[in-house]
Structure 1
Amino acid sequence: MEQEVLGRGLRGIGELTPPPGGAGLVEPVLQAASDQGRLPVVVHGSAPTTAEDLTTLATLARRYAGVPLVISQLGGQHWMQAVELVRDTPNMYLELSTANVVFAVRVAIKEIPDRTLFGSDAPYGDPVLARALVERVTSPGEVRARVLGGTISELIGFG
């Protein structure tokens, strides 16, 4: 961890993609991130991640409450569950890339405005369209600014 992550100037770990049903495999990484302080860990949220995996990740996040755990891709097809789990788990965050439904982005930002992160999944997604989506479902101001960069800046020590 000290050599390969911190020693290279990295500000977090990820994106981890455990096999279906294997979210528990990220626990040693969460332990190592905990040992280093508030080092964020990003876990793939779309397939192959299952609904059960999201629940496991929330359980692990509660166990390692000092570690920011980011679920990417809005939780994929399980976006409603992801929003609820992140809302109810203070050290979890939700990254918005690859949203299939505009309503999902609107709900995520409304429910967890301080723990929702912009993402585009480039090169697979389009950063301009992803930003336009966030701008479409938010008003100019603090919430939009947090989603588009303020929250991640705080997480990685730039805010």
Structure 2
Amino acid sequence: MEREVVGRGLHGIGELTPPPGRAAMIEPVLRAAADHGGLPVVVHGSAPTTAADVRTLSALAGRYPRVPLVVSRLGGANWMEAVELVRDNPNMYLELSTASVVFAVRLAIKEIPDRTLFGSDAPYGDPVLARAMVERATSPGEVRDRVLGGTIAELVGLA
């Protein structure tokens, strides 16, 4: 961690993708992130991540409250549960890449406006379409600005 992350000037760790049903495997990474000032950790949120894995991530977030834990891809097929779990855990964040339903984006932003992060999954996803979905789901202003970059800038110490 000291040499490969902090030593290289990186601002976080990820995207980690544990095997299905094995999200608990990331605990040593969370412990190391906590030991290094609470570096953000990004975990793959869609398949192979299961609903049980999303719940495990929530429990782990509770054990490492100084570590921002980002669930990517809106939690995949488990997006409704991911929104609820992130909403209820103040150190969890939800990244929006690969969202296929504007309602899911709208709900995530409504429930957790300060902890929802823009993502496009480029080169597999289209950044312009992903941004348009966020713009469609929000009004111009502070919330949109936070989702489109303000929150991540704060999270990694760039703001």
Instruction: Establish whether TM, by shorter chain, passes 0.5.
Output: yes
Q: TM-score, with normalisation over the residues of structure 1?
A: 0.99
User: What's 2:131 paired with?
Assistant: 131
How far residue 35 of structure 1 moved from its aligned partner, in angstroms, is: 0.2
Q: Structure 1: which 4+ aligned runs deviate by more than 2 Å?
A: none
Does residue 1:79 correspond to 2:111, yes or no? Answer: no
Does residue 1:90 correspond to 2:90, yes or no? Answer: yes
User: What's 2:152 paired with?
Assistant: 152
SS of 1:149's equivalent in the other structure is helix
CA distance in 1, matches of 2:18, 2:124: 20
User: What's 2:120 paired with?
Assistant: 120
CA distance in 2, matches of 1:73, 1:12: 17
How far residue 116 of structure 1 moved from its aligned partner, in angstroms, is: 0.1
- AA aligned to 1:57 is L
How far residue 100 of structure 1 moved from its aligned partner, in angstroms, is: 1.4
CA distance in 1, matches of 2:96, 2:25: 23
User: What's 2:53 paired with?
Assistant: 53
- AA aligned to 1:107 is L
User: What's 1:13 paired with?
Assistant: 13
CA distance in 1, matches of 2:143, 2:38: 23
How far residue 24 of structure 1 moved from its aligned partner, in angstroms, is: 0.2
SS of 2:30's equivalent in the other structure is helix
How far residue 38 of structure 1 moved from its aligned partner, in angstroms, is: 2.0
SS of 2:150's equivalent in the other structure is helix
- AA aligned to 2:81 is Q
Structure 1: give runs of 5+ residues left out of the alignment: none
**Alignment identity in percent?**
79
- AA aligned to 2:113 is P
CA distance in 1, matches of 2:32, 2:38: 10
- AA aligned to 2:133 is L
Q: TM-score, with normalisation over the residues of structure 2?
A: 0.99
CA distance in 1, matches of 2:18, 2:100: 22
User: What's 2:69 paired with?
Assistant: 69
- AA aligned to 1:58 is S
SS of 2:46's equivalent in the other structure is coil
User: What's 2:3 paired with?
Assistant: 3
The correspondence of residues 30-49 of structure 1 with structure 2, limited to 5 A, is 30-49=30-49
Number of residue-to-residue matches in the alignment: 159
